[in-house]
Amino acid sequence: MEQEIACLRARFAEEIGNVSDAEALENLRVAYLGKKGEVTSLLKNLRDIPNEQKKEVGQLINAIKTEVETAIAKKMDELREAALAAAVSGAKRYNPTLPSTEELGSYHPITLVQRELEDIFAAMGFTIEDYAEVVNDYQCFESVNIPKHHPARDMQDTFYLENGQLLKTQTSAAQNHIMRKYGAPLRAIFPGRCFRNEATDACHENTFFQMEGMMIDRDISISNLIYFMKTMLSEVFRRPINVRLRPGYFPFTEPGFELDINCLICGGKGCPSCKNSGWLELCPCGMIHPNVLREGGIDPEEYTGFAFGLGLTRLAMMTYGVKDIRDFNAGNLKVLSQFESR
């Protein structure tokens, strides 16, 4: 028996030395430790051993069993490490310049509309700015002329963090930063995600996108505002767009407006989509309030400017005919992968 065990040990050592992959290792394990494996049958044969030798032989068999088990586990680790090292060292390296063989992804419809607007504004000399989503009270409200306890805050309830910061309710939160960054004159747009504590339905979301814009220079007037909005919207909708301004109240504008466009469906004649008015409300805007310019370090005696806060999510709904705003955030790829840049 001892002889047999010694042979088995030698054979096993040789065989495991030849193993170079996980499959071969598993076969070896079965051959030695499986139900009909070599070590297992040694244990079975133990019953034929005379009683006085059983203890000693039993110990020998158990020892070889442990040896085989340990060697297999060690080999398994070695193989895993080798596979990892090969992957890292680039045996199968990812080459980002090769065309994909997988199905291609698609852009989110809001990204598509955002990029289209960015191109239009960039062509008119505007820079494109990025800004934080987590801001403080000063950035979101006070710097844009909404002091604490101002009733205008009621319309923009949001999510507050324990450290006093909040999720920005409007892209106007970046106005002050951008004025301070560039000074006057400036032309900038700043798209961004905004948050409000809203009950959601087909038209309301707690998370949505706006695209804010500002133009500040000497002698900027409402005519400039109308011209830029008309040009931009005619580009977006690919047809001449008529606009009208109605008075609107925003603490950071003086005067402030609601900008309407002629209804895209009936062209202005009146239809159910525009509630027979011929107009669709599209974009709040106005001349930047002197307090806001001053807070941004710009002298309102020398410079004036206009600003607007376009609802990017709403524009995406209009351009792509999306009826339910919640589709944008639901993460349903069947819905979201249908959109292409136009």
Q: In whole angstroms, how close is the CB of 275 to ligand DAH at the nearest point?
A: 21
Q: In whole angstroms, how close is the CB of 95 to ligand DAH at the nearest point?
A: 45
Of 14-22, 49-57, 97-105, 302-310, the segment contacting ligand DAH by CB under 6 A is: 302-310
Please identify which residue in 114, 158, 253, 304 interacts with ligand DAH, judged by CB under 6 A.
Answer: 253
Q: Give the tokens for residue 4.
A: 């047999």
173 neighbors 135 (Cβ within 8 angstroms): yes
> Which residues in 178-217 contact ligand DAH (CB under 6 A)?
212
Q: Which is nearer to ligand DAH, 284 or 300 (CB)?
A: 284
Question: Is position 129 an interface residue for ligand DAH (rule: CB under 6 A)?
Answer: no
Task: Residue 89: count other Cβ atoms within 10 Å of its Cβ.
Answer: 9
Question: Is position 12 an interface residue for ligand DAH (rule: CB under 6 A)?
Answer: no
Please identify which residue in 131, 308, 328, 339 interacts with ligand DAH, judged by CB under 6 A.
Answer: 308
Question: Is position 293 an interface residue for ligand DAH (rule: CB under 6 A)?
Answer: no
Question: Is position 172 an interface residue for ligand DAH (rule: CB under 6 A)?
Answer: yes
> Which residues in 152-171 contact ligand DAH (CB under 6 A)?
170
Rounded-to-integer distance, Cα 145 and Cα 134, Å = 19
Question: Is position 304 an interface residue for ligand DAH (rule: CB under 6 A)?
Answer: no
Binding site for ligand DAH (CB under 6 A): 170, 172, 212, 250, 253, 256, 284-286, 307-309
